Chain A
Amino acid sequence: MRWGEIIKRLVLVPPTLFGVAVIVFVLLRVVPGDPIAMMIPPGASEADITRLRALYGLDQPILQQFATWLGQVASGDLGRSISVRQGVLDLLLARLPATIELALLATVIAVVLGVLVALAGILLRGRRAEWAVDGGVGALLAIPDFLWALILLLLFGVLIPWLPISGRVDPQIDIDLRSNFYLLESLLTGRFDTASALLHHMFLPALALALPFAALVARILKASLADAEDQDYAQIARARGYSRPAILLHEVFPNALIPTVALGGVQLTLLLGGTVLVERIFSYEGIGNMAIDAVINRDFPLIQGLVLTFAVLFIALNLAVDLVVALLDPRLRHG
């Protein structure tokens, strides 16, 4: 990808976010139910309700509300959460690292599993066992992450209680870390006890997120490997006396990686979206879990902040994928 293209993509980010903001903002106010209705005690007087609505600016016309909010956002203030009564930005900054770490761990697990399965599948190519691998991958693809979350929860949390099934870390443990990237920080600063405790908590939700994605990586990579192995250059490599494993590794794999990153990378947004339900199921304190509470409470400012955050993550992810693909494919690099 050329610099011009990157800049073009970056220029498109603000209008995209603006569009997302408009849609959420309007949808929230068109759909029935508002935050005040969720927070007032039963039997509150009409006057109380009106006063509360005015307090949160909900009595203003939508356009007015939007302009006010947009002005805040532009100056780096996402407003205050109505249900939690804290700054939305602070809430997001506190929770986002937990979700990012969970998604990263899930991605690592998925890539390792997916690559191993794809390699096994390609090595078994043409034998009967190849069907078993393909079939297994197909079955894994059919089970969504939240279902895995429930299965893993029952299996390893309840039936054979090996792992903790709730939260990010034991409440008793004293977390003495500077950032909210608990796992990354504890690993980088050599606090492996803390890291291990964190990993114990993260493993099941991460695995639930990872399994469908691993199946996807396995399927795309295996198909790409098979496709690349049939190309002339790989066939001709055999005529040069290279062994099949060497050809798969040195000639075929670098080519198969390109479509795998291009197709699989974009699907990471699905994994990120999956954190909403999976975090909920494991009571993991990330932004996905928070999103459900925010929706239940019709916490407009928080929902808006969350949607913008997810939008930024998705855009960044897509851009990163395109950059990596350009790095892997010399035909794209020089334009």
Chain B
Amino acid sequence: MNATLTVEGLKVAIGAANVLRGVSLEVQPGEVRGLVGESGAGKSMLGRAVLGLLPANATITSGQIAFEGRDLLAMTETERRGLLGRRIALIPQDPMTSLNPVKRIGAQIGNLLRHHLGLPKRAALTRAAELLTEVAIREPERVLALYPHEISGGMRQRVLIAMAFACDPALVIADEPTTALDVTVQRQVLQLVERLRLRHGSAILFVTHDLGVVAKICRSMSVLHAGRVLEEGETADVLVRPRHAYTRALLAATPRADRPADALRPVPPALIEQLWSEAHRLDRAGEARPA
């Protein structure tokens, strides 16, 4: 059976800057894979590359992305659009800016269902209400008639999660879906994602900078830094026996329930420095080789 998502040797450059330096990772059907790394590591760029949403000035210089064995990069625009939103979905980072401010919630969910599933208008709204119930929104009919500014951030994120799972996707890319939310809402949203994943049978690429979140919901994980995967494996293995110094440093910097908060140590700058010079050495080696 094909992996749901296969990324191989993916290199992405924005202008002269390398953003991804040969990333490889796999997401198996139904698996939740964590993609961890500090801000600027290239996590969002990887997600955007899969979704075909790279900024206009970014180029994929080499590598492959396959979805269920099909080469996403070689596909026609129309083929890819048939997959996006239906088989591959996104849970965005910022619920405040991710819904269209001038359209009712019902119209936004309804359009998606009509576009991908061909539901007639009434049926789409009925289904939209069911989806809102799934994400634990009370009075779904009332919420469908509201505009985004009329509901809370946590509720908006639920709406976005409902939209992501609306067409039973095989793969959901969740780009730090809890970062913009406050802590109590974060936990509820994580539980929700877990529940919907099981119900809809989706695999998730869960992007986060929070190892605590990874420990909670990801079976496997990849550690990204400066556009490189430094370490990957089963979450239990990686967190218990981290092999890379950077992973160990990240772990030491993560708050844990079984440890006093003052034991936290930030990632040593010397290590970051060393990783960056490694990355730049890699860049130069790549340039030296004839294309």
Contact surface of A with B, Cβ cutoff 8 Å: 126, 231-243, 250-251, 254-255, 258, 328-331, 334
Cβ proximity bits B134-175 to A, threshold 8 Å, 1 near / 0 not: 000000000000010110000000000001000000000000
- B97 contacts A by Cβ under 8 Å: yes
Q: Are B83 and A241 in contact (CB under 8 A)?
A: yes
**Number of residues on chain B facing chain A (CB within 8 A):** 30
Also in contact, A233 and B84, with CB within 8 A (given A239-B90, A331-B149, A334-B150): no
Query: Considering the complex of A and B, which 8 residue pairs feature the smallest CB-CB distances, nearest first?
Result: A240-B85, A241-B84, A241-B85, A232-B97, A241-B81, A330-B147, A239-B90, A233-B100
Instruction: Name the distance in Å between A310's Cβ and chain B's nearest Cβ.
Output: 34
Q: Are B53 and A239 in contact (CB under 8 A)?
A: yes
The closest CB in chain B to the CB of A255 belongs to B102
- B116 contacts A by Cβ under 8 Å: yes
From B56, B92, B101, B115, give the contact of A241 (CB < 8 A). Answer: B115
Q: Which residues of B contact A251 (CB under 8 A)?
A: 100, 103
Q: Which residues of A contact B268 (CB under 8 A)?
A: none
Q: Which residues of A contact B56 (CB under 8 A)?
A: 126
Q: Which residues of A contact B147 (CB under 8 A)?
A: 330-331
From B98, B115, B150, give the contact of A242 (CB < 8 A). Answer: B115
Q: Are A232 and B92 in contact (CB under 8 A)?
A: yes
Q: Are A250 and B97 in contact (CB under 8 A)?
A: no
CA distance A254 to B101 in the complex (A): 10
Q: Are A328 and B115 in contact (CB under 8 A)?
A: no
Q: Which residues of B contact A234 (CB under 8 A)?
A: 100
From B85, B97, B101, give the contact of A239 (CB < 8 A). Answer: B85
From B92, B94, B111, B149, give the contact of A250 (CB < 8 A). Answer: B111
Q: Which residues of B contact A240 (CB under 8 A)?
A: 84-85, 89-90, 112, 115, 163
- B99 contacts A by Cβ under 8 Å: yes
Cβ proximity bits B60-92 to A, threshold 8 Å, 1 near / 0 not: 000000000000000000001111111001101
Chain A contact residues, majority secondary structure: helix
Q: Are B112 and A233 in contact (CB under 8 A)?
A: no
Show 6 residue pairs from A and B whose CB-CB distance is below 8 angstroms, ordered by the A residue: A232-B97, A233-B99, A234-B100, A240-B112, A250-B111, A330-B101
Q: Which residues of A contact B86 (CB under 8 A)?
A: 241
Q: Which residues of B contact A241 (CB under 8 A)?
A: 80-86, 115-116
CA distance A322 to B255 in the complex (A): 51
Contact surface of B with A, Cβ cutoff 8 Å: 51-53, 56, 80-86, 89-90, 92, 94, 97-103, 111-112, 115-116, 147, 149-150, 163
Also in contact, A254 and B51, with CB within 8 A (given A242-B115, A243-B81): no
Question: In the complex, given contacts A242-B115, A251-B100, what are 5 additional A-B residue pairs having Cβ atoms less than 8 angstroms apart?
Answer: A126-B56, A236-B92, A236-B98, A240-B85, A240-B89
Q: Are A329 and B116 in contact (CB under 8 A)?
A: no
Q: Are B81 and A233 in contact (CB under 8 A)?
A: no
Q: Are A236 and B90 in contact (CB under 8 A)?
A: yes
Q: Which residues of A contact B103 (CB under 8 A)?
A: 251, 254
CA distance A22 to B121 in the complex (A): 58
The closest CB in chain A to the CB of B47 belongs to A239
Q: Which residues of B contact A334 (CB under 8 A)?
A: 150
Instruction: Name the distance in Å between B143's Cβ and chain A's nearest Cβ.
Output: 14
Instruction: Name the distance in Å between A326's Cβ and chain B's nearest Cβ.
Output: 12
Q: Which residues of B contact A236 (CB under 8 A)?
A: 90, 92, 98
Q: Which of A233, A243, A250, A258 has the most CB of B within 10 A?
A: A233
Q: Which residues of B contact A233 (CB under 8 A)?
A: 97-101
CA distance A251 to B81 in the complex (A): 17
From A235, A243, A331, give the contact of B101 (CB < 8 A). Answer: A331
CA distance A250 to B111 in the complex (A): 10
CA distance A254 to B99 in the complex (A): 13
Q: Which residues of A contact B149 (CB under 8 A)?
A: 330-331
Also in contact, A239 and B51, with CB within 8 A (given A232-B94, A330-B147, A331-B149): yes
Q: Which residues of B contact A328 (CB under 8 A)?
A: 102
Q: Which residues of B contact A235 (CB under 8 A)?
A: 53
CA distance A236 to B85 in the complex (A): 9
CA distance A281 to B235 in the complex (A): 80
Q: Are B101 and A255 in contact (CB under 8 A)?
A: yes
Q: Which residues of B contact A243 (CB under 8 A)?
A: 81
CA distance A241 to B81 in the complex (A): 4
Q: Which residues of B contact A330 (CB under 8 A)?
A: 101-102, 147, 149
Instruction: Name the distance in Å between B284's Cβ and chain A's nearest Cβ.
Output: 31
